[in-house]
Structure 1
Amino acid sequence: MTLATGTPRDTRDAVLHRQHSRESAARTYARTFPIVPVRADGMTVEGADGRRYLDCLSGAGTLALGHNHPVVLDALRRTLDSGAPLHVLDLATAEKDDYTGALFENLPRDFAESAKVHFCGPAGTDAVEAALKLTQTATGRRGVLAFTGAYHGMTAGALAATGNVAVKQPLPTGGEVTRLPYPYAYRCPFGVGGERGAELSAAYVERLLDDPSGGVLPPAAMILEAVQGEGGVIPAPDGWLREMRRITAERGIPLIVDEVQTGAGRTGAMWAVEHSGIVPDVMVLSKAIGGSLPMAVVVYHEDYDGWQPGAHTGTFRGNTLAMAAGAATLRHIAAAGLAERAAVVGARMTERLTALRGELPVIGDVRGRGLMIGVELVDPSGTPDTCGAHPAAPELAARVRAGCLARGLIVELGGRHDAVLRLLPPLTITDEQAEAVLDRLADAIAEASAATTGGRP
């Protein structure tokens, strides 16, 4: 077998060397996963060296159905065979009409009945920019409320709303952002944890906005993630989300929910907002909604549709293949009950990982929703904080990631200090694959932990 370029399998190192010499220093996944994939099916990826891996990264959540799912491939082949135009800017096509229908069929009912959709550039960050511009246009305001731990993208406005300091330091970002405390039970920003931490977060937000000397002008929007992904797989309590909806609604502040990573069944519901029952004003969607191909949209209440023609454009808003694959994917997730399946399998995996904490003290916390799971690794010999959380262990996490790769398992890191192992398997993961993931992960943690503690448990 050969690579797509005709390169023999046994020249994997040569391909990686050329990538290193030609591509930018901003490479991320390629640095920690020295793999040259040549074949992929479902959850399995085969490298040019013949090794096979279980993929628990899934394109950072893009591959809801895994690699090369028959539903996706059939949709792509039908579209290619039909002779449909693959690029027509934002003109109406049968494929676009069908995609919009599939999307609206699967949006929360109370949201969909008064919604408009805008097709953006193919990345989620552009949809975030569109959402911010939309609410700024509608309200005539400029400021944005965003949260600690947030990740919304790498373009100016989205980066300003992002919490990660490391990616913001080199250059100024656009926009006036007020940073608010996101409820993080394990490392509570108020040092109390649990439900009380979420209550304090809500109280802080409300009092800050109502304080005439609080320094916060009426904002154009609040943007949040119902489950923070890059921030460390931190689910917001449902009650806290309902409080954010109440606070913003009472003050005429549009609420934007970023569902780029949580959408399309990932959290055990088609959309993460459905767990709390809130109806946002704007939803930002990308990743899985394109059926593995580039796609991003912003969906919003029709009352905010005050844009002039051309207010937010982009050359690649009309990706016909992504629309075909995305429509097929959304309908298959709904028809096959994959969101419900994600809830069941995710709960089972989380339960087993939580049980491991007793055997492996380096596991500080296990959390998540559905098949969006985080395992935070810590130094159990370090001094705990006021909530009992031990210091983060990023070096240990990096060793565990490498140990997983050696065992044929792809997992990535995130969260504060990159100390959280993030599991994002496809929604099609089998029971056997789930057990294999947990076995390999547990072995990798135990080995890395033993090396850290000199063999002590």
Structure 2
Amino acid sequence: MSVSSRVSDLPAPHTNAYFLARQARYESAVRSYPRKLPLAITQAQGCWLTDADGRRYLDCLAGAGTLALGHNHPLIIQAIQDTLHSGLPLHTLDLTTPLKDAFCEQVRSILPGELAEGRLQFCGPSGADAVEAAIKLAKTATGRTTVCSFSGGYHGMTQGTLALTGNLAPKQALGALQAGVQFLPYPYSYRCPFGLGGEAGTQAALHYVEHLLQDPESGVCHPAALILEAVQGEGGVIPAPPAWLKGIRAITEKLGIVLIIDEVQAGIGRTGQWFACEEAGVVPDILVMSKAIGGSLPMALLAYREALDVWQPAAHTGTFRGNQLGMATGLATLKHIASEGFLTEVQRKGHVLSTRLNEIMQSCACIGEVRGRGLMWGLEVVDKRAPANALGSYRAWGELARRIQQECFSRGLILELGGRHGAVLRLLPPLVISYAELEQLGERLHAAIRAAEAALQVAA
């Protein structure tokens, strides 16, 4: 069949169906979001997307948390225009500019504890690149090779970062990944790996980690680093209990292990604080940043204690680590979030959203737990037709979660799934979402859950 005849078979031009059909013909099978969210975006503003058929959607995915200020915020557009008209180069490798200097100063102003006096390292251009750099740095600084990660964690899809990621599905076809990775249990109270839950589960998780790392017969070599998320994102929006995070910090300090906290998704105001680890008052040795810190454009960097700065020149590079437009939009984003009352307002909105989500849980049979902080929330979809376990928890129901996502989409609400069996509804709205839009979010989500329950005959 000729190209011209294939094109003639396409749906009417300039419709969702037309653009999606073209995308399916020339893009790789690896594409994922168009399969769940079948739209072609023609306009975007604030918390809203408009597709090629003229339908509007409330966007609670926001570039997987990248769009802290929403789509096309005036400050972001102005920053791009100012940079384009400034005469600055757009690509500088790791050469500096006045813009880069200002961005670095702003980043340093938001860092917790000793990191503010430490070092910044630009990677490029994704969070996975920054995680790779963090692991290499920890190994270089300690001379050790083992790395500890946590079940449910997500750190990227490169060969190295996938080895640190809990999700087994993308690993199945690849065989051996990075050697020397040891997984540890994360404190997930609803599905406690020790069958305890609550404070007892938290203490058991801490005891397990400390015992494993000190037992000369554990089979685990003394690690260079331990990497974690203070709020697991893709793993199902699971916040680490502050006591556990403090305990992990104490263990790593005691044993001379580099603590790496991945704040790629939870950082830059998402949880109502600059970084999720601040809830526990914990300062890591290496902090990984990406997504929102670029103000919607590619940006990834590390902040780490000065004592770890043992790199030889060019020991870790990346062509696009000098993205000046990303620094301009990142600077504008950081300044706006730093403005008086912004983070307090994120916390207030988070409380409003939490209250609404818990109301939905009380009226819908399929929600087992609501959890999150700030404007990062998850609702675990469960099947209560089977008996609960000893903790009172029900089995995950991924099929129903996928149906709810479809029902949300049909009602103009975009959200993503995550967690075990894809059974957690994940909400990452822009931090600038209004209270009226939060009300719409709640209404559309509630209606979607009700419709999905009815379709699958879930008893109330």
- The TM tier, using the shorter chain, reads over 0.9
Whether contact under 8 Å (2:121, 2:302) holds in the other structure is: yes
For the residues of structure 2 that align with 1:74 and 1:109, how far apart are their CA atoms? 32
Q: Deviations over 1:1-41 (max 9, x none)?
A: xxxxxx99743312111111111111111111111111101
Is 2:250 the counterpart of 1:246?
Answer: yes
Q: Do residues 130 (structure 1) and 133 (structure 2) align?
A: yes
Corresponding residue number in structure 2 for 1:4: none
Q: Unpaired segments of 5 or more residues in structure 2? A: 1-10
Q: Give, as a single letter, the amino acid of the residue that structure 2 aligns with 1:308.
A: Q
Partner of 1:270: 274
Hey, what's the Cα distance between the residues in 2 that align with 1:297 and 1:176?
Answer: 24
Alpha-carbon distance between aligned partners in 2 of 1:347 and 1:324, rounded to the nearest angstrom: 31
Tell me which amino acid in the other structure corresponds to 2:445: L
Judged with a 3 Å threshold, the aligned counterparts in structure 2 of structure 1 residues 8 and 296 are, in CA distance, closer, same or farther, namely farther
Deviations 1:378-415 (A, max 9, x none): 11112222211111111110110010011100011000
Q: 343, 350, 353: which one pairs with 1:346?
A: 350
What residue in structure 2 maps to residue 372 of structure 1? 376
Aligned to 1:296: 300
Q: Distance in 1 between matches of 2:397 and 2:13?
A: 36
Q: Residue 164 of structure 1 aligns with which residue?
A: 167
Q: Which residue does the alignment assign to 2:6?
A: none
Cα pair 1:120 1:127 within 8 Å, conserved: yes
Q: Distance in 2 between matches of 1:175 and 1:299?
A: 25
The counterpart of 2:156, out of the listed 141, 153, 166, is 153
- Measure the CA separation in 1 of the matches of 2:228 and 2:440: 34
* Corresponding position of 1:62: 66
Count of residue correspondences: 449
Determine whether 1:116 maps to 2:124: no
CA contact (8 A) 2:114 2:305 kept: no
TM superposition outliers: structure 1 runs of 4+ over 6 Å: none
Native 8 Å contact 1:157 1:175 kept in 2: no
* TM-aligned CA deviation for residue 94 of structure 1: 1.2
Is there any run of 5+ residues in structure 1 with no aligned partner, and where? 1-6
2:378 corresponds to 1:357: no
**1:184-203 mapped onto 2 (5 Å cutoff):** 184-203=188-207
TM-score, structure 2 as length reference: 0.96
Q: What secondary structure sits across from 1:75 in the alignment?
A: helix
Q: Is the 8 A contact 2:113 2:283 kept in 1?
A: no
In 1, Cα distance between equivalents of 2:451 and 2:157: 35
Q: Separation in 2 of the partners of 1:252 and 1:18?
A: 54
Partner of 1:426: 430
Determine which of 183, 188, 191 is the counterpart of 2:187. Answer: 183
Measured after TM superposition, the shift of residue 340 of structure 1 is 2.0
Normalising by structure 1, what TM-score? 0.96
Deviation at 1:346, TM superposition (A): 1.2
Residue equivalent to 1:383 = 387
Distance 1:55 1:203 in 2: 41
Tell me the distance in 2 between the aligned counterparts of 1:46 and 1:31: 18
What one-letter code is carried by the residue in structure 2 that aligns with 1:352? R
2:315 equivalent to 1:311: yes
Q: Aligned in 2, Cα 1:336/1:14: closer, same or farther, shift over 3 Å?
A: farther
Residue 49 of structure 1 corresponds to which residue in structure 2? Answer: 53
Q: Give the secondary-structure state (helix, strand or coil) at the position aligned to 2:149.
A: strand
**Distance across 1 between alignment mates of 2:296 and 2:362:** 38
Structure 2 residue 286 is matched with structure 1 residue 282: yes
Q: Which residue pairs with 1:28 in the alignment? A: 32
1:347-395 deviation per Cα after TM superposition (whole angstroms, max 9, x unaligned)? 2211221122222110011000110000000111122222111111111
Query: Once the 2 structures are TM-superposed, how far is the Cα of residue 90 of structure 1 from its aligned partner?
Result: 0.9
Tell me if structure 2 keeps the 8 A contact 1:9–1:48: no
Say if 2:171 is the partner of 1:139.
no
* AA aligned opposite 1:170: A
Deviations 1:295-342 (A, max 9, x none): 000111010000001111011111000000001101100115332222
Letter of the structure 1 residue corresponding to residue 103 of structure 2: Y
Query: Which amino acid in structure 1 is aligned with residue 188 of structure 2?
Result: Y
- Identity rate, percent: 55
Which has the higher mean CA deviation after the structures are superposed, 444-453 or 277-286?
Answer: 444-453
1:385 & 1:158 partners in 2: Cα distance? 33
Partner of 2:263: 259
- What is the CA–CA distance in structure 2 between the aligned matches of 1:111 and 1:315, rounded to whole Å? 25
Letter matched to residue 124 of structure 2: G
Aligned partners of 1:317, 1:358: CA distance in 2, in Å?
Answer: 47
